Amino acid sequence: MKPPKDASSASKSLDPRTELVTSGRDTMAQKGFVNPPIVRGSTVLYPTAEDLHAHRGEFQYGRHGTPTTKALQEALMALEGPQCAGVGLTPSGVSAISTALLAVLAAGDHLLVIDSVYRPTRNFCDGLLKRFGIETTYFDPSIGVGIEALFKANTKAVLVEAPGSQSFEMPDIPAIAAVAHRKNALVIDDNTWATPFFHRSLDQGVDISLQAATKYIGGHSDIMFGTISANAQAWPVISEAIRLLGVCAGPDDVFLALRGLRTLAVRLAHHQQSGLEIARWLAERPEVLRVLHPALEDDPGHAIWKRDFTGASGLFSVVLKPAPQQAVDAFLDTVKLFGMGYSWGGYESLVIPFDCTEYRSATKWNPGGPTLRLHIGLEHVEDLKADLAAGFAAFNAAAAK
Ligand SMILES: *Cc1c(COP(=O)(O)O)cnc(C)c1O
């Protein structure tokens, strides 16, 4: 019998949508099965004393990798593009962020972080990094090349997030990266919102691209997972830190991340389309002051988004006209298809109220009304609009009381 063809051996320069399906698949090593096995393993046995002494063999120890992790790493490398020299797998998005920062920083260093950063990232910088003698300065997301003024002799890294996952400001990453590289600092990007499918950050001057794969990569709200992708310059320190810190991800989660990755393109296309349709619908609602979505033509971040991104995911925010808290709560309690919860990127729609005023330090957050963040899932868009309309009816009734 002829062996099955190996999909990953197809000709190079495939479309990313094809790469998502074919990469990381070693069909013959999987005895013909389409997907890799879930390898649970700590011990890896060596056949001879000579092999043992030479540490010979593709896999050495469970923590350092298995056939399952290898399949996911290869698939992620293909998605990240030609600049990617390696991908580390971590047990959560936050652990990807903390591992990357610990990898590139040392006592006495200075770090620049975007003011719109994911709040637990800020807590890590202001907590553990501060305790280890690393100073953090936060910067205005719209700073661009003006970031040069914030560099000190000991600035070693710049951390960006595009867009901010609550407030949706869009930083100019290539401009920031150009300054950082002139100053010999590394650029780290939390690329969770767009994923490498819509934003190839390593092609835009980023050295280390992070994902909370908990979100769109997993795609089903059923795993906690993180990834650290690095270019050739940054990969040695990242892989060293992963080894020294003992970071590794559980085999079931690795498998589910890979399974999620296979359908990422179709899911994101749907999230994008429904997300934009609802964003435009919300912008016309009388209760709405502003929609914060970089793919909308009148958004302040639109030009940068259009230049640097190939798409938008399903997460955005809306600023309501000033209203009492009980009106907002009536909205939240009335919508049924929009669950109230924090981790997004799954197939289901979500809504949460948020308030950035509590923690901003480099900029003032003055939205002008109550703010809600929406995740648009894979439900039918007309059902979602009807649900939101019911929420607004309850909102107006409560506001009139
Ligand atoms: C959720 C999230 C994280 C953290 O991911 P976890 O897997 O929950 O630890 C990091 N960055 C952004 C932008 C996120 O949305």
Q: Which atom of ligand 1 is nearest to the CA of 224?
A: 7
Say yes or no to pLDDT of 108 above 60.
Answer: yes
Distance CA 350, CA 353 (A): 11
- Interval 264-291: pLDDT, tens: 999 999 999 999 999 999 999 999 999 9
- Is 207 annotated as catalytic? no
Mean pLDDT of the chain: 96
Q: What's the chain's Rg over C-alpha atoms?
A: 22
Is 347 found in the same domain as 210?
no
Local structure of residue 2 (DSSP, 8 states): P
Tell me the best of 94, 166, 191 to mutate to test the pocket of ligand 1, counting ligand atoms within 8 Å of each CB and taking the most. Answer: 94
Q: What is the pLDDT of residue 109?
A: 98
CA of 333 to the centre of ligand 1 (A): 25
Tell me the best of 166, 215, 356 to mutate to test the pocket of ligand 1, counting ligand atoms within 8 Å of each CB and taking the most. Answer: 215
CATH number at residue 362: 3.90.1150.10
Distance CA 71, CA 36 (A): 7
- Interval 22-43: pLDDT, tens: 999 988 888 999 999 999 999 9
Q: Tell me which residues have their CB closer than 6 angstroms to ligand 1.
A: 92-94, 118, 161, 165, 190, 192, 212, 214-215, 224, 226, 343
Q: Which of 6, 26, 46, 63 does the annotation list as catalytic? A: 63
Task: Give the domain-ending residue among 198, 230, 262.
Answer: 262
Q: Which of 25, 70, 200, 215 does the annotation list as catalytic? A: 215
Task: Give the domain-ending residue among 227, 262, 297.
Answer: 262
Tell me the best of 123, 165, 189 to mutate to test the pocket of ligand 1, counting ligand atoms within 8 Å of each CB and taking the most. Answer: 165
- Which residue's entry shows tokens 């994923």? 195
Any domain includes 149: yes
Is 160 found in the same domain as 39?
yes
Say yes or no to pLDDT of 4 above 80.
Answer: no
- Is 31 annotated as catalytic? no
CA of 343 to the centre of ligand 1 (A): 7
Residues 6+ apart with CB under 8 A from 337: 349, 377, 379, 383, 384, 387
Distance CA 371, CA 396 (A): 16
- Is 118 annotated as catalytic? yes
Residues 6+ apart with CB under 8 A from 261: 20, 72, 75, 76, 79, 217
Any domain includes 319: yes
Contact 17, 265 (CB under 8 A): yes
Say yes or no to pLDDT of 7 above 70.
Answer: no
Q: Which atom of ligand 1 is nearest to the CA of 212?
A: 5
**What's the whole-number mean pLDDT along residues 321-346?**
97
Number of domains in the chain: 2
CA of 193 to the centre of ligand 1 (A): 9
What's this model's pTM, rounded to 2 decimal places?
A: 0.96
Say yes or no to pLDDT of 3 above 60.
Answer: no
Using 50, 70 and 90 to split pLDDT, how confident is the model at 237?
A: very high
**What's the whole-number mean pLDDT along residues 97-114?**
98
Say yes or no to pLDDT of 370 above 70.
Answer: yes
Domain range for 51 is 7-262
Task: Give the domain-ending residue among 245, 262, 279.
Answer: 262
- Is 46 annotated as catalytic? no
